[in-house]
Chains A and B, each alone.
Chain A
């Protein structure tokens, strides 16, 4: 059985082809904005699903123009579904450009098969996404350091302080941080409270990578 996720804008036609083409469709979950036309489109999609006897859930995003917030919400829902072992598909065609981008990001990071529906022909286009977890590009220790920094984003850690907090030697921490910095996953910035001190902070959006 497959759960179909989707983003929805003003046109239900951007989602309906995927509802039709999904084999063994168990449920449909779609995200839309609070715009009146999006709500109209939601009603049409719900009606279509009802006629097929497929349960559907429309999720109204609080801010469809906030890419990272939308991506965070979508990722949390996808992970819950993934944990239950159900097959997942994602149609990223509808909604605001930011909603589509957020969905694409999550699909790449989580290795979820994604499709796009052409604006004029309504033909489904499969996106060349791999079913691999992108975060696997980090070593377990790099992941641990980054996860710690993401979890404690509001705290200020120097390199030495971070080594103590994570429980590794400061030379080992320096090695991991140089690698993470080269990948653009962390940044060294001057401490606003003490200009002589450099603090380490995760790059924006790394929450999506680590979870």
Chain B
């Protein structure tokens, strides 16, 4: 089943080209509360009675990103997913584009001509991280002593040299900060890391 996730604002005319040009079997609309009360949305509902709605605060980037990411993951289990990040606030549009990069799905901008954004299908951002970096990301939850963190990662079979390289690399990528305090090194996740945490954490599996 092909899913189309579309971001929407008050003007339903911005969404209509996407619905016309991008074929789908299931439609998911992501918008703010007021949009779902608008006459434009009611008209769209009459055209597509089975559409799924996701309510977000269209001025909260982290919230929008999280909601779209979850929606993509749910839809990906049913078949191919596309996103049209044409409608809604700029923040909602950006969250849509960024979620597509994170999850590796096709993204389009139809205003009104369809433009396919240069996102590689199936290439998730997490794949840009080495195994030692991925392990560090999973273990670092708050400010921590570097030696303890290194030991924890080494206990999972990763050599010390790789772990230290991963610390430097994550710092360079802007995900952690390292600092010296009373002769001891500490590492802390940055706000950017916090926003990416849900994407970077390992999905839950069987025990």
Seen from chain A, the residues whose Cβ lies within 8 Å of a Cβ on chain B are: 65, 67-68, 92-93, 97-98, 100-101, 104-105, 108-109, 111, 113, 116, 118-120, 125-132, 134, 136-138, 182-185, 203-209
**Identity of the chain B residue whose Cβ is nearest the Cβ of A103 in the assembled complex:** B94
With contacts A97-B90, A125-B61, A208-B118 known, is A130 near B109, CB below 8 A? no
Chain B 100-155 residues near chain A, CB threshold 8 A: 101, 106, 109, 111, 115-123, 125, 127-128
Identify B115's interface contact among A116, A128, A136, A204, CB under 8 A.
Answer: A204
The reply to whether B128 and A116 contact each other, CB–CB distance below 8 Å, is no
Distance, CA A134 to CA B127, complexed state (A): 10
Q: Are B118 and A113 in contact (CB under 8 A)?
A: no
Could you tell me how many residues of chain B have their Cβ less than 8 Å away from some Cβ of chain A? 35
With both beta carbons as reference points, the residue of chain B lying nearest to A93 in the complex is identified as B90
Q: Which residue of A lies closest to B195 (CB)?
A: A128
Residues in B with CB closer than 8 Å to A205 are 115-118
A101 to B120, CA, bound (A): 17
Question: Is A67 within 8 A of B118, CB to CB?
Answer: no
CA distance A138 to B59 in the complex (A): 34
Let me know if B128 and A129 touch, CB within 8 A.
Answer: no
Q: Is the CB of A104 within 8 A of B94?
A: yes
Contacts of A131 in B (CB 8 A): 172-174
Are A183 and B123 neighbours in the complex by a CB distance under 8 Å? yes
Closest beta carbon of chain A to B41's beta carbon, Å: 20
- Cβ-defined contact, A101 with B128, below 8 A: no
B residues less than 8 Å from A98 (CB atoms): 109, 111
Are the C-beta atoms of A127 and B94 separated by less than 8 Å? yes
Q: B164 at interface (Cβ–Cβ under 8 A)?
A: no
For the complex, is B85 an interface residue (Cβ under 8 Å from A)? yes
Contacting B192 at CB < 8 Å: which of A65, A116, A128, A209? A128
B91 on interface, CB distance cutoff 8 Å: yes
Contact check, A104 vs B118: say whether CB atoms are below 8 A apart: no
- B 149-207 contacts with A by CB, 8 A: 172-175, 191-192, 195-196
Question: Once the chains bind, are A184 and B128 in contact (CB under 8 Å)?
Answer: no
Cβ contact within 8 Å between B123 and A100: no
Given that A101-B109, A125-B61, A131-B173 are known contacts, is A206 also in contact with B118, CB under 8 Å in the complex? yes
Give the one of B65, B94, B172, B174 with max A CB within 10 A.
B94
- With both beta carbons as reference points, the residue of chain A lying nearest to B89 in the complex is identified as A119
**CB atoms of B175 and A100 under 8 A apart:** no
Do A130 and B125 touch (CB < 8 A)? yes
Interface residues of B in 62-104 (CB under 8 A from A): 65, 85, 89-91, 93-94, 97-98, 101
Partner of B121, one of A128, A183, A204: A183
Q: How far does the Cβ of A106 sit from chain B's closest Cβ, in whole Å?
A: 10
- A206 and B120 CA atoms in complex are apart in Å by 9
**A130 CA / B197 CA spacing, docked (Å):** 12
Q: Are B98 and A108 in contact (CB under 8 A)?
A: yes
4 additional contacts (CB under 8 A) given A105-B97, A137-B128, A184-B106: A109-B118, A128-B65, A129-B192, A130-B174
Task: Give which listed residue, A108, A127, A130, A134, contacts B175 with CB less than 8 A.
Answer: A130
Please indicate the chain A residues that have their CB under 8 angstroms from the CB of B85 in the complex: 101
Partner of A209, one of B97, B106, B115, B118: B118
| Cβ B191 vs Cβ A130 within 8 A | no
**Measured CA separation A137–B13 after assembly (Å):** 35
Which interface residue of A67, A97, A203 has the most chain B CB atoms within 10 A?
A97
Complex-state Cα separation, A92 to B97, whole angstroms: 13
Contacts of B121 in A (CB 8 A): 182-184
A-B residue pairs, 6 tightest by C-beta: A128-B195, A205-B118, A137-B123, A184-B121, A183-B120, A209-B118
18 A-B residue pairs with CB within 8 Å? A92-B94, A101-B85, A101-B109, A104-B97, A109-B118, A120-B59, A125-B61, A126-B191, A127-B61, A128-B65, A129-B98, A130-B174, A130-B192, A131-B174, A134-B120, A134-B128, A203-B118, A205-B118
